[in-house]
Amino acid sequence: MPIVWCYQLIRSSKCTQSSLNLLYIDIAFEDEPNVQTMENTDRLCVIPPADWTELRDLYRRNWPEHHVAYTTIDNFVRWYEKDGGIKNLTIFCLNGSWREDGTYLVVDRYQLFVYSLERENCVLEKALHLLDWSGGLKVSSLLARHRQPVINVITAKSLSKEYDSETYLYYMPKDECVALRLIVPEGFELRSLAPKDVRQANDVWPNKHTGSLFLLQRLAAWNPNVGLYEQSSGKLVAWCFRLQAGALGALQVDEDYKRRGFGTVVTIALAKQIAALGHDCYGLVNAANTPSKQMFERVGFKHDGEAYWLRTIPTFAAYFAMPMDDSDQLVEILHPDWVELRDLYRKDWPKHEFAFYLLENYVRWKAHHSEVVKCYSLNGNWRADETFVLKFEKLQLKNLDHIYHQWPLRDHISYEAGYGLLKRLILLNESVGLFNEKDLLVSWCLSDQTGAHSDLQTMSSYCRNGYGRMVVIELAKRLARAGSDSKAYVLQENENSVRLFESVGFQKIQNLHWTVVHKQR
C-alpha cells in the first residue's frame, strides 16, 4: 500500500490543518462515450519480429478471405529482413492474444494498418482504444469490416478527421495475373524506378503530404515497382508502386501521355511481378475515380469490396502551425535584450508578474548556462507587441491522449476508468499546461476531484528546466484566484516531487494511504 504525503499551501489564515478521514470513490459518469468494456489487465503488447512469420501464416486459412492481412504482414517480414534496425515500425496485439484472435495493429511511422480474425471486432476495438492517437494517424487500407471499431474509437476520443475516403478493392488471383498479356508500346521500355524518378512521382501525386517522399522512396527501394520510360528521351511517363499492405497504388500517367493505355501497361507489368512472388494481386482505387475503376475491370480484376483511408488530426499542438503570412517568422530574442524584455512587464504590476519573474529566472540561468533556453518573438516585434514564446494554457481535450500516454498510473488502472477520469478532470477542473516555442505541451498539472494538484508531469526531454515548478505555482495561483487553497498528494518515495512542493512553500500536514480494490472474479 503506497504512502502518500499530503501537502497544503495555505491561502488564508482561516484554513485549518485538522486531520482528514477520506473515503474516496470515483464513479464513472453514465454518459461517458460508449466504448468497449475493458479489463484492468488489458494491455497493448508488442509482437516481436521473430513471430511475424507465424502471424502472417495465420491468414492462409480460407484463402483468399484474408489475403490483405497476409500481404501486409509479409511486406513487413521482408522489410525487416532487409533492415533489422528499421525505425518507427511496431506490430501490436491485445494482451498477447494474436495467436487466438489474429488481431494486429501495425504502426509504420504515421500509418496504421489493422486486422482481426474475430468477427465481432471486440478485441480490435479494445486494442485501438489503448493506442496513442495524439500525434495523428493515417489509417491505411482499412477494410470495410474493420471500419466501425476505428470510427467508434475516433468518436470516443473526440478526434477530428482530416479526410475519410472510400476506395474500391479490385482483386485478381496470381494464376490470372501470370496469364495476362503484356504489350510494351514501341519506343518505350519498362524498368524499376530510379531515385530521381521517385521525386517526380511524389511531386505530382494527388496524395502528396509531409513524409510521402520518404514513403515512396522506401517503396521503390524495397517493394516491386515499375516505370514506363520513353527510350528516346529517357522520360518517365507512367508508374506504379506496391504499397505496404500489398496493394497497387500511386498509379499515375504523365499528363502529356494520357489516354494511350500506359496506365494499363504498368498495372499489368506490376501484377505479373507480384504473381512471380507467389502472391495474388489487388489494387485500391478511389471510389470517385471512374476511369481507373474501368481500367482495372478491363484488365480482368474483380471488384471485391471496399477499403478506406482516413487520417486523424493530431491532438496536441506540436503538430500544428498557426495561420501566418508568408513573411511571418519566429525571431530569436538575443540574451542581451532579455533584461529589457523582462522590464516591459513591470507595467500594471502585478498583472504581468508571472512574465517578469519567468524572464528574471531565465536571465539568471542564462548567465550560468548559455544553452539553457532560447526566447523568440514573432518577426522580432517584441518591443511593440510585448510578446514572447513560452506560455501557459488551460488543458483541452486535444491534449488528452498526449497526457494519458505519459500517465504513470495507466498500467494500474483500466483504460476505461483512467482515460475517463483524466477527461473529466480536464473538462471540469482547473488545469495548467506549459507549451514551448513550437506549441508543444511539455509540462502539465491537473487538479483532482478533491481539488489537489495531481498528475504533475514534464516530458523527459524537458526535465531539469524548472517547468514542473512553474506549472505547480501557476495552478496554485489560479486556484487561489478561484478562492481555494492548494494541496497535493505526493508519494513518500518520490523525493524529487517532495522537494519541489516544499521549495514552493507547501507544508506537510499528514500521511494518507491509497488502496486499489479489484473486483473478485
d(CA 414, CA 403): 15
AA identity, residue 146: H
pLDDT for res 88: 87
Residues 490 and 471 placed together within one structural domain of the fold:
yes
Overall domain count for the chain: 4
Q: Examine the domain organization and report whether 160 and 209 are in the same domain.
A: no
Out of 224, 255, 279, pick the residue that ends a domain: 279
* Whether residue 181 sits in one domain with residue 146: no
pLDDT for the residue numbered 5 = 58
Q: Are residues 70 and 147 in the same domain?
A: yes
161 and 250 share a domain? no
Inside any domain, residue 6:
no
pTM: predicted TM-score of the whole model, two decimal places: 0.60
381 and 398 share one domain: no
The rounded radius of gyration (Å) of the Cα atoms in the chain is: 28
Residues 155 and 65 in one domain: yes
- pLDDT for res 196: 87
pLDDT category of residue 35 using cuts at 50, 70 and 90: very low
- Asked which of 166, 184, 213 is the last residue of a domain, the reply is 166
3-state SS of 166-215 is EEEEEEECHHHHHHCCCCCCCCEEEECCCHHHHHHHHHHCCCCCCCHHHH
Domain membership flag for residue 212: yes
- Please report which confidence band the pLDDT of residue 210 belongs to, taking 50, 70 and 90 as the band edges: confident
Q: Does residue 130 sit in the same domain as residue 87?
A: yes
| Boundary of a domain, candidates 107, 133, 166 | 166
Residues 416 and 500 both lie in one domain? yes
429 in Cβ contact with 419 (< 8 Å): no
Whether 184 and 231 share a structural domain: yes
Give the model's pLDDT for residue 15. 32
| Domain-embedded: residue 320 | no
- The pLDDT value recorded for residue 323 is 44
Domain contains 379:
yes
CATH code assigned at 273? 3.40.630.30
Number of Cβ within a 10 Å radius of residue 106: 23
Q: Is the model's pLDDT at 354 over the cut of 70?
A: no
For residue 23, tell me if it sits in a domain.
no
Do residue 360 and residue 461 come from a single domain?
no
Residue 440 lies in a domain: yes
The answer as to whether 24 is a domain residue is no
Domain of residue 500, residue span: 393-504
Question: Same structural domain for residues 152 and 50?
Answer: yes
Residue 341 backbone class (left: φ over 0; alpha: ψ -120 to 50; beta: rest): alpha
Asked if the structure places residue 224 within a domain, the reply is yes
Mean pLDDT estimate for the chain: 84
